[in-house]
Amino acid sequence: MSTGASGIEREPSVLGSSAVMAAGTLVSRLTGYLRTGLLVAALGDGLHADIFNIANTIPNMLYILLAGGVFNAVLVPQLVRAIGNDADGGTAYTNRVITLAALFLGLVSVLLVIATPLVMRLLVDPSYLDASHAVERDSIITFARYCMPQVFFYGMFVLVGQVLVTRRSFGPMMWAPIANNVISVLVIIAYLITVGADRNAIGYSSGAEALLGLGSTLGIVAQFAILVPYLRRTGFRYRPRFDFKGTGLGQTLRLGVWTVLFVIVNQVAFTVVVRLASTGSASGGTGFTIYSNAYLLVMVPHAIITVSLATAVLPRLSGFAADGRLLSVASAVNVTMRSTYALVLPLLVLTPIVAPYLASLVFGWGAAAHTYGNFVPTLSLFTIGTFFFTSHYLVLRGFYALEQNRRVFFIQCVISVVNIVAAVALTHHVNAIDTAPRLVLAYSISYAVGAALSYRQLSVAVGGLGTQSLIRFAIRIGIVVILAAGAAWIAREGADQILGSANKFAVLLRLSVVGSVGLGTYLALARMFRITEVDQVTRLATQRLGSRGRHR
C-alpha cells in the first residue's frame, strides 16, 4: 500500500479544493470571532450571557439530533452512488431527498416552537426554571422560541451544501456563514447602542429579546439563502418529488437510523455537559459561555484544516469504497491524517502559550474586560481534546464511505459514556470556577478513548492504515513541534518583559511576535526534517499567490 506523501500530489484536487474551503472557513471564523467578542462585550461571560447563548445553541443541537448526522455522514456517499449509477446522474434522487427533508424539518420546527417551554425544561438545569429565577426563565424561553425556526434553516443549509459538495462545488458552503456573522455583528452593535453592556443585568426587555433572538435567526436564514443560486450553477434544477416509495431511499434511511442513534447518544452526553456547565455559571463560576466560546476558538484549526480536507476527500473515499478498493480507502485516510496533523499540530501546541493573549483580544472587552482570564485554563486544556477529536473525526470518514454507520454508533456509545462519567466525576463538589476546565478534561479523556478505538476498528476493516508510516511521521513531527513550542515560549517570556503593557495593541503585538517565532521555527524545522506535507501546502499557497499576481 502506498501511503507516501505523493498520494496527495497524485490527487491535487483534494488540496486545491481544501484550500478553497479553508479560505472561506478562515474568513468565516474571523467574522465569527468578531461576533463572539462583541457578544461577550455586550453580555459578559456569566449567567446573563448564558441565558441567550444556551437558548441560541439549542436549535443547532436539536437540528444535529434530528437530522444533522444523516445530512453530514450519510448523504454524501449516497449522492455519490446515485450520481454514478442512476441514468439521470442522481437528479431524481436528489430532488426526493430535498423534498423529504424540507417536509420533515418544516414540521419539526413548527412543533418545536409550540413546545419550547417543555424542550427547555428537558435540556437546561432546573435552577434556570425555578421560582427564584423567574425573570431568567421567561427570557430563556422567549429567546429559544425566537431561535427554534433555525432548525429548518440549519438543516436546509447543510443539505444543499452537501449536494454542492458531491457536484464538486466546495466553496459556497464554507463562505456562506460569513453572511450570518455579518448580520449577527450588526445585531449586536444595535444591541450595544440601544441597550448597552451589563453583565450583571437580570433578564432582558422584550425588545432586547426580539432583537437578539430574531436577529440570530435571520443570520441562519441568510446563510441558507446564499447557497440556493449555486445549485443552478452546477446544472442542478430542483423539482419537488413526492414519489418516495421504492426509489432507493430505503438504504439511505436504514443508514440514517444508525446515524440518528449516533447523534442521540452524542447529544445525551452534550446535554449532561450543558446542565453541568449551567450549574457552574448559576453558582457564579465558569459555565456554558466560557466552555462553548473556548471550544469555538480552539476548534479553528479543526474547522479550517480538518473539515476542509475531510470534506474534499469524502467523495473520493466513497468512490473507492463503492468500487471495493479498500487499499485505496486506507491510503487516502492515511495521507489525509498526516496532512492534517502537519497543519493542525503546530497551531494546537502554540495555543496554550498564547492563550492569555487570545483571551484578552477576543473576550476581554466591555462586560468581560476584567474577567477574560477565566477563559485561559479552558482554552489551554481544549487543545488536548481537539487533537483526539480531530483524529477520531478523520477516521470516521472512512467508516462513512464504507457505509459502516452501525459500527460508528457503537464507538460513539463508548465515547459518550466515558464523557458523562468523567464529567460528573470531575465536577462533583468542585469549586464553581473550575467547572468549565474540568468539563474539558472529561471531553479530552472521552475522545482519547474514541480515537484509539475507531482507529483500531477501521484498520481491521480495510486491512491496515499504514500504522508504521504514521509512527515514523509522528516521531519526526513531534520533535519539530516541541522545538517550535520551546522557541515560542522563549519568545513569549521575552515579549512579556519588553512589552508588559496590558493595552490591546501591546497584547496584539506580543501575540504577533510569539506566533511568528513559533510558526516560523516550525516551517524551518519541517523543511529540515523533510516533512513533505508542509512543503506541499507551502507550494500550493505560493502557486496560488503567484497566479493571482500574474492575473492582476
Chain-centre distance of CA 472, in angstroms?
29
pLDDT band at 167 (very low <50, low <70, confident <90, very high): confident
Give CA–CA dist 1/327, Å, rounded. Answer: 6
Cell numbers at 362, concatenated:
477576543
Confidence of residue 6 (pLDDT cuts 50, 70, 90): very low
CA dist list (Å): 130 to 126, 168, 275, 405: 6, 51, 14, 40
- Single out the residue of 491, 477, 481 nearest to residue 531, CA to CA: 477
What digits encode the pLDDT tens for the residues 407-458?
988 998 999 999 999 999 998 877 878 888 899 999 999 999 999 999 999 9
Cβ neighbors of 400 (< 8 A, separation 6 or more) are 73, 74, 76, 77, 314, 317, 318, 408
Rounded to the nearest 5°, which phi and psi values hold at 532?
-65, -25
- Looking at the whole model, is its pTM more than 0.85? no
Q: What is the pLDDT of residue 545?
A: 42
Q: What mean pLDDT is predicted for residues 84-102?
A: 81
Question: Residue 427: how many CA atoms within 13 Å on its side-chain side?
Answer: 32
Rounded-to-integer distance, Cα 272 and Cα 416, Å: 10
What pLDDT, on the 0 to 100 scale, is given for residue 1?
A: 39
Those residues with Cβ within 8 angstroms of residue 532's Cβ, 6 or more apart along the chain or in another chain: 5
DSSP, collapsed to helix, strand or coil, labels residue 487 as helix
At 321 the pLDDT is 86
Where is average pLDDT lowest: 224-228, 278-282, 327-331, 509-513?
278-282
Lowest-confidence region among 137-141, 283-287, 522-526: 283-287
pLDDT of 446 reads: 96
State the average pLDDT for the chain: 81
For residue 490, what pLDDT is reported? Answer: 95
pLDDT of residue 417: 94
- CA dist 401 and 328 (Å) reads 12
Alpha carbon dihedral 394, 398, 401, 405, in 10-degree steps, equals -90
Residue 405 has a pLDDT of: 79
> Per-residue pLDDT averaged across 30-49, rounded?
79
What one-letter code names the amino acid at 154?
Answer: Y
| Residue 420 exposure: Cα atoms within 13 Å on the Cβ side | 14
Which region among 76-85, 86-95, 263-272, 392-401 has the lowest average model confidence (pLDDT)? 76-85
Query: How far apart (Å, rounded) are the C-alpha atoms in residues 446 and 454?
Result: 12
Q: What is the pLDDT of residue 322?
A: 80
For residue 419, what is the DSSP state?
Answer: H
Average pLDDT value for residue range 217-224 = 93
Are 161 and 75 within 8 A, CB to CB?
Answer: no
What is the domain partition of the chain in residue ranges?
6-465, 466-552
Dihedral Cα 149, 152, 153, 158, nearest 10 deg:
150
117-144 mean pLDDT: 74
Taking alpha carbons only, the member of 408, 158, 104, 391 closest to residue 260 is: 408
| Strands in 294-417 per DSSP E | none
Cα separations in angstroms, 64 against 57, 135, 147, 261, 414: 11, 29, 15, 11, 19
The whole-angstrom separation of Cα 499 and Cα 507 is 8
Give the integer Cα–Cα distance in Å for 485 and 479: 10
Phi/psi at 524 (nearest 5 deg)? -65, -45
Q: Which residue has the higher pLDDT, 23 or 107?
A: 107
Measured CA to CA, the distance from residue 323 to residue 240 in angstroms comes to 31
Question: Nine-digit cell at 42?
Answer: 455586550
- pLDDT per position as a tens digit, 242-262: 877 755 556 666 666 776 677
pLDDT of residue 435: 85
Which tens digits make up the pLDDT trace of 188-199? 999 988 887 666
- Least confident interval from 2-6, 243-247, 398-402, 461-465: 2-6
Spatial distance between the Cα atoms of 235 and 207, rounded to a whole number of angstroms = 44
pLDDT tier at 302, thresholds 50, 70, 90: confident
pLDDT given at position 493: 92
The more confidently predicted of residues 381 and 67 is: 381
Residue 539 has pLDDT above 70, yes or no: no
Distance, in Å, from the CA atom of 110 to the CA atom of 114, rounded to the nearest integer, reads: 6
- Mean pLDDT value across residues 334-349: 90
pLDDT tens for residues 461-500? 999 999 999 999 999 999 999 999 999 999 999 998 888 7
% of the chain exceeding 90 in pLDDT: 32
DSSP 58-94: HHHHHHIIIIIHIIIIIHHHHHHHHHHHSTTTTHHHH
State the Cα–Cα distance between residues 492 and 517, nearest whole angstrom: 9
**What is the pLDDT averaged over residues 201-205?**
74
Our measurement of the distance from residue 291's CA atom to the centroid of its chain's CA atoms, rounded to an integer in Å, reads 14
CA distances from 446 to 340, 440, 443, 475 (A): 21, 10, 5, 24
pLDDT in the model for residue 212: 92
**pLDDT at residue 128, as a whole number:** 58
Q: What is the pLDDT averaged over residues 7-11?
A: 39
If you average pLDDT over residues 89-110, what whole number do you get? Answer: 86
Phi first, then psi, for residue 509 (nearest 5°) are: -65, -45
| pLDDT for 353 | 95
pLDDT at 144 over 80: yes
